[in-house]
Amino acid sequence: MNESVKMSDDTQNAVDLEAEFRSSNVQEVLDKLDRELVGLVPVKTRIREVAALLLVDRLRRQFELTSQTPTLHMCFTGNPGTGKTTVAMRMGQILKRLGYVREGHLVTVTRDDLVGQYIGHTAPKTKEVIKKAMGGVLFIDEAYYLYKPENERDYGAESIEILLQVMENNRDDLVVILAGYKDKMDRFFQSNPGMRSRIAHHVDFPDYQPEELLAIAELMLADQNYHFSPNAREAFTRYLKLRMTLEHFANARSVRNALDRARLRQANRLFGRRTSPITRDDLMTLDAEDILASRVFQEGQLDQVPAR
Amino acid sequence: MMTNHGNRLTQGQFSFLPDLTDEQITKQIKYALNHGWAVSIEYTDDPHPRNTYWEMFGMPMFDLKDPAGILMEVNSCRKTFPNHYVRVTAFSSARGTESPAMSYIVNRPAKEPGFGLVRQESEGRMIRYTVHSYATDKAENERY
């Protein structure tokens, strides 16, 4: 008898995780993330985990199970063009939906914005940036430049010190995301162990596979109301394979540049036949020749490099 | 007859109310930020009503989204000048306004001696009146 009373009491007190999940609209953000960001499995998994933790935390608070606010400072490492900034931008929105930050805006800074030029200049400068980022996300791009071990009089260390203090004391007010290339960030953390231990999430952005890059290219084109003709898609697949073997390959950024150049060639092509009527579809279609004209095909050389 | 118990300085907004709590200050700052006003922090130990320009505590804060940063500055100003008057001012740059749109005291000295009325007899039987802050009898930084 007693047992059953206790049981029903417990189910009455139970809360609906599903309802909480739906009311937070997180699914919408996660879906959008899935739709608009190709690949990046480890990153998406981590975001999902963070979302789950924050939701569960919110439920725990309903039962007055207190726990400390989790640290959400993050470090994004990866090669150029793997989507670090894009994800950081999304991070602000996601954390806002989950009620972790109040405003969810992103403040992007580099060394120049944090480190001053003379004694006593750094602290106010860093503090000003921090104040601007409060309630949102502070994104420090190429964070390893903050610390220059070869110059012991460099003011970067002072900036790091202030950042560390804020990351510890104002955890409720802002989330700091550091970003940079893997090897350089590793060296940065080696010389700043305090920084490493204050960052809970180290997320590595993998390089994209060729088919992922093609999907990214098609998303980018769709955004600008363009599309590939079937031949052009095939040509672009070949282009990607060649381009990936060349130097200075910057993943999605290279794709965007290649598409921009293809748009130039398409415009030129259309201009060349301006006597004949041009349809709406013509204006939207990138053809194989727009892509095959790239110097990557002809000489195995980058487009930017002037021909000798 | 004493009309202002405890000689509390009544300048700016909310000055007849009990001191604002941090939470209330945060909400007021948020209101200013929502209007796009630049918030700054000022302090003084000369509370004469005609002393319009108080000392600035740091730069005015532009482009902020969240009040937490300003509250941090308020608290550091209180720590630096625990016995000064500290006020938060929100400057509206809207054309035609271009002046402070909000101003309220967030810190006051433990003991406020208040103001005295000085009468000066001049030509004829004319009397000139001056409002004089008792605190300013002492040197700067020793007033409270």
Work out whether the CA dihedral B65, B66, B69, B73 comes out positive or negative.
positive
What's the CA gap between A211 and A219, in Å, rounded? 12
> Nearest 5°: phi and psi at B131?
-90, 125
Q: What is the DSSP letter of A2?
A: H
Asked if the interface predicted TM-score (ipTM) of this complex is over 0.85, the answer is no
| pLDDT tens over chain B, length 144 residues | 456 666 789 899 999 899 999 999 999 999 999 999 999 999 999 999 899 999 999 889 998 999 999 999 999 999 999 999 999 999 999 999 999 999 999 999 988 888 889 999 999 999 999 999 988 998 888 888
Return the pLDDT at B118: 93
First to last CA, chain A: 92
What's the CA gap between A166 and A129, in Å, rounded? 12
Q: How close B62 gets to chain A, by Cα (Å)?
A: 8
∠ CA B43-A130-A160, nearest 5°, is 115
Return the pLDDT at B1: 45
Q: What is the pTM of this model?
A: 0.80
Q: Is A170 within 8 Å of chain B by CB?
A: yes
Both structure tokens of A61 = 């608070």
Q: Is B56 within 8 Å of chain A by CB?
A: no
Both structure tokens of A153 = 């009089």
The strand ranges marked E within chain B are 38-44, 55-56, 85-92, 99-107, 115-121, 127-133
Q: Is B73 within 8 Å of chain A by CB?
A: yes
Q: How close A136 gets to chain B, by Cα (Å)?
A: 8
Q: Is B49 within 8 Å of chain A by CB?
A: no
What's the CA gap between A144 and A152, in Å, rounded? 15
In a mutational test of the B interface, the residue from A107, A134, A173 whose CB has the highest number of chain B CBs within 10 Å is A134
Residues 6+ apart with CB under 8 A from B69: A130, A131, A132, A134, A173, B61
**Residues from chain A contacting residue B39 (CB–CB below 8 Å):** none
Return the pLDDT at A23: 74
- Which residue in chain A has the smallest CA separation from B70? A131
The amino acid present at A300, given as its one-letter code, is: G
Residues of chain A with pLDDT under 50: 1, 3-5, 7-8, 307-308
Return the pLDDT at B5: 67
Residues 6+ apart with CB under 8 A from A213: A240, A251, A252, A255
Q: Are strands B115-121 and B127-133 parallel, antiparallel or unpaired?
A: antiparallel
**Residues from chain A contacting residue B63 (CB–CB below 8 Å):** 132
In a mutational test of the A interface, the residue from B29, B65, B73, B75 whose CB has the highest number of chain A CBs within 10 Å is B65
Return the pLDDT at A27: 79
- Which residue in chain B has the smallest CA separation from A124? B58
